Amino acid sequence: MALVGVSFTAVADEGMWLLPYIKKMNSKDMKAHGCKLKAEDIYSAEKSSLKDAIVVFGGGCTGEIVSPEGLLFTNHHCGYSAIQKLSSVEHDYLKDGFWAQNNAEELPAEGLSVRFVRHIFDVTADIVGAIPSTAAQAEYEQMVAAAKQCLIADLEAKYPGMQIIVPSFFGDNQFFAFVYEVYPDVRLVGTPPSSIGKFGGDTDNWMWPRHTGDFSIFRVYAGKDNRPAAYSEENVPYKADKWLDISLKGIEEGDFGMIMGFPGSTERYMTSSEIDYMLEVDNPQRIYIRGERQKILREFMDADQAIRIKYDSKYAQSANYWKNSIGMSRGIEKLDVRAKKAAQEAAFQAWAEKNTLPEERFVDALSLIERSQTESRKENATIQYLSEAFMQSVELVQTVLGVRDIEQFYKDYDASADRAVAKRMFQIYRENNDLLPSIYAKIDSEFGGDSDKYVDWLYDNSKLTTYEDFLAVASLSEEEQQAAFQNDPATELAKSIIDLYRELAPAVQKTAPLYSEGHRLYIKGLMMMQPEKAWASDANFTIRLTYGNVLPYSPADGIVYNHYTTLDGVMAKEDPTNPVEFTVPERLKELYAKKDYGRYADKNGDLPVAFLVNCDITGGNSGSPVMNAKGQLIGLAFDGNWEAMSGDVAFEPDLQRTIAVDIRYVLFIIEKYAGANWLLNELTIK
């Protein structure tokens, strides 16, 4: 339980539910929705369950094991970075796809890992059980940190070799410990070309109707003892205790659907003052800065095939969050989310003043949050601009700030594109900020205020713009290396950015405890105020279950969207004037012309592509399995819908939908398009 005296009963559709409480909180409601499984089939602490087939894929996605030989399905966009790293102009797997025909042809994806959740423990009593209810925020945080440190040490001793995390829930009011087993040897097995896996590109992103075959296939490898092992030719496919069966029955409107995965972040307890900052500062700055960078990168990518391969993954990641921010602002404003939040806050404040003691500080919760938003508003805004415009956009700066894999960095780096981006970033930063890094003084005094001239000088004189120059410096003696890097103009630029960042940081750090305490008290108070309400914790990239039904929706008056799409829509969207986003491969056209869909056609003889289910997901759920009432795989979740982009802040039950690629389209591409039939022999197809 999150708090003593709080009852949990599930409401339809909304909720990213914690697995240990599925039996107590959700099983009855799930059955009413149509689920045929017992709670123990979904999650069990004692025996194998569906949970054991679900993995963290890479750093921010979900995957599912679909065979006893460690075969894994996830989204194409989740595997995109790994596919890009394996690609070259000679072997362009992004453009052409890739299909291994046996285990020996599977490609090691360097740096990619998957994590299995082995154990989950509610450790709330261990973490906060001894903290007085009147403890000040600093004392609360100190006691929480100390208790977590001891608990993690105990669990690491009990589960050697495992990864332990103890995240908080409900604003630091509840805590769970998660024990992960990390497998670092993951190999690419198959991927469709981007013309299938990324069909629709940025234009269709977050949109419905959707026609994207957003899937890729990997395999988990292990040592001969089936335990995690670094890549080795001696490793063997992971022997799975649990994998998902696949259903070809298809979906009908009203069918039960559930999704298990790792939703990354929601802010359902966001207040009106936080929304003000998001709409007025945070989202507008991100949208503008990323939009300017993406226009430049797009020009370079369209003009040069090698640059396209280098920047495809980076561009896609940036564009996804950019469009998300656009949709988020649009949804919050259109659906009047702020007014709804303000009404909830007014009710909370009245309850707190009438029913709680001053020393409990519930009456101060909202004012603490508001102060955190206003007292460091300018500093926060400037720090975001520094981060977006320089630290994230100008890659030359990253060579100084720190790069995890320097060889891979330069493999995916083009100095000419970065130079063009840097010129634009210097321009827009000065246009929109009066707190300038010290490098602008140099620009004014030595380059007549012309930042373009400075950028040209910077890239012409830095020894960090090519891998060869970097290696030449790295080959010097330690003393010479240090001098070379310290005297490099890129270091001078990075230092000026970091100096301003550090100058602004204390104001932000001063207000952070205000927010933490206000947020914790607000959530705790809300749950006390409405003990009968089903409260779900915000997403924090821990494993959750969400469930609902396959449903259409109406985005506006007079418009009703069907709950599925077919290959007919792919052909209708083909656009020779937009080859980046709406190209249809010739092989797919041939299969369409012959209606050669095999066992994957629906009852009307059409080939299904995607469908909708009203489950509650967010970023991190990408690649999550969509399962039917029997726990069989029917699709892969890959997106939300444009009309409900405010969902991370406020769930909209009438509008919110998960977009999933139909498993029948996935298998059709594997068998009919790619001819990789050997993979189907591993699957358990019902």
Per the CB < 8 A criterion, the answer to whether 664 and 607 are in contact is yes
Provide the token pair at 247. Answer: 């259903």
Any idea which of 12-16, 169-173, 511-515, 645-649 has the lowest mean pLDDT? 12-16
4, pLDDT greater than 80: no
Are β-strands 256-261 and 559-561 bridged in parallel, bridged antiparallel, or unpaired?
unpaired
| Runs of H (alpha helix) within 166-261 | 194-197, 201-204
Quote the pLDDT of residue 533.
86
Quote the pLDDT of residue 14.
85
Quote the pLDDT of residue 13.
64
Task: DSSP letter for 558, please.
Answer: T
Please state, in angstroms and rounded to a whole number, the distance separating the CA atoms of residues 318 and 560: 31
1, pLDDT greater than 90: no
Alpha carbon distances (Å) from 32 to 12, 113, 232, 360, 612: 10, 37, 48, 40, 20
Please state, in angstroms and rounded to a whole number, the distance separating the CA atoms of residues 556 and 571: 26
Host H or E run for residue 608: strand 608-613
Start-to-end CA distance of the chain, whole Å, equals 38
Helix axes 489-529, 137-158, angle to 10 degrees: 100
8, pLDDT greater than 90: no
Per the CB < 8 A criterion, the answer to whether 33 and 24 are in contact is no
Per-residue pLDDT tens for 665-676? 999 999 999 999
Nearest to 386 by CA among 433, 351, 347: 433
Q: Which amino acid is at 99?
A: W
Question: Burial of 506 by CB count in 10 Å (0-12 exposed, 13-18 middle, 19+ buried)?
Answer: exposed
Length of the chain (residues): 686
Distance of CA 107 to the CA centre of its chain: 24
pLDDT bucket at 5, cuts 50 / 70 / 90: very low
Question: Mean pLDDT throughout 260-272?
Answer: 98
Q: For the chain, give the percent of residues with pLDDT over 90.
A: 95
Please state, in angstroms and rounded to a whole number, the distance separating the CA atoms of residues 217 and 479: 47
Question: Mean pLDDT throughout 581-603?
Answer: 97
Please state, in angstroms and rounded to a whole number, the distance separating the CA atoms of residues 454 and 490: 11
Any idea which of 12-26, 186-200, 340-354, 566-580 has the lowest mean pLDDT? 12-26
Nearest to 194 by CA among 308, 71, 56, 326: 308
Nearest to 23 by CA among 2, 4, 3, 8: 8
Cβ count near 531 (within 10 Å): 12
CB neighbours of 502 closer than 8 A, spacing ≥ 6? none
Host H or E run for residue 174: strand 174-183
Per-residue pLDDT tens for 393-436? 999 999 999 888 999 999 999 999 999 999 999 999 999 999 99
Supply the mean pLDDT for the chain. Answer: 95
| Runs of H (alpha helix) within 198-239 | 201-204
Provide the token pair at 325. Answer: 């921010």
Task: DSSP letter for 372, please.
Answer: H
Cβ count near 358 (within 10 Å): 10
359, pLDDT greater than 80: yes
574-601 burial: b if 16+ Cβ within 10 Å, else e: eeeeeebbbbbbebbeebbeeeebeebb
Nearest to 190 by CA among 685, 684, 673, 686: 673
3-state secondary structure of 272: helix
Radius of gyration (C-alpha) of the chain in whole angstroms: 26
Per the CB < 8 A criterion, the answer to whether 513 and 138 are in contact is yes
Can you name the residues that pair with 216 across neighbouring β-strands?
74
Sign of CA dihedral 330, 333, 336, 339: positive
Please state, in angstroms and rounded to a whole number, the distance separating the CA atoms of residues 75 and 638: 7
Nearest to 439 by CA among 507, 380, 490: 490
Question: Burial of 371 by CB count in 10 Å (0-12 exposed, 13-18 middle, 19+ buried)?
Answer: middle
Please state, in angstroms and rounded to a whole number, the distance separating the CA atoms of residues 464 and 458: 10
Per-residue pLDDT tens for 472-509? 999 999 999 999 999 999 999 999 999 999 999 999 99
Q: For the chain, give the percent of residues with pLDDT over 70.
A: 98
6, pLDDT greater than 80: no
Quote the pLDDT of residue 7.
32
Question: Mean pLDDT throughout 297-306?
Answer: 97
Quote the pLDDT of residue 404.
85
pLDDT bucket at 534, cuts 50 / 70 / 90: confident
Nearest to 641 by CA among 553, 545, 536, 524: 553
| Residues carrying an active site annotation | 77, 214, 622
10, pLDDT greater than 90: no
Per-residue pLDDT tens for 553-573? 999 999 999 999 999 999 999
* Strands in 284-345 per DSSP E: none
Please state, in angstroms and rounded to a whole number, the distance separating the CA atoms of residues 217 and 648: 28
9, pLDDT greater than 70: no
Indicate the domain borders of the chain: 41-244, 272-520
Per the CB < 8 A criterion, the answer to whether 366 and 518 are in contact is yes
Host H or E run for residue 422: helix 415-432
Residue whose entry in the numeric block shows the structure tokens 């599912």:
64
Nearest to 535 by CA among 335, 266, 259, 269: 269
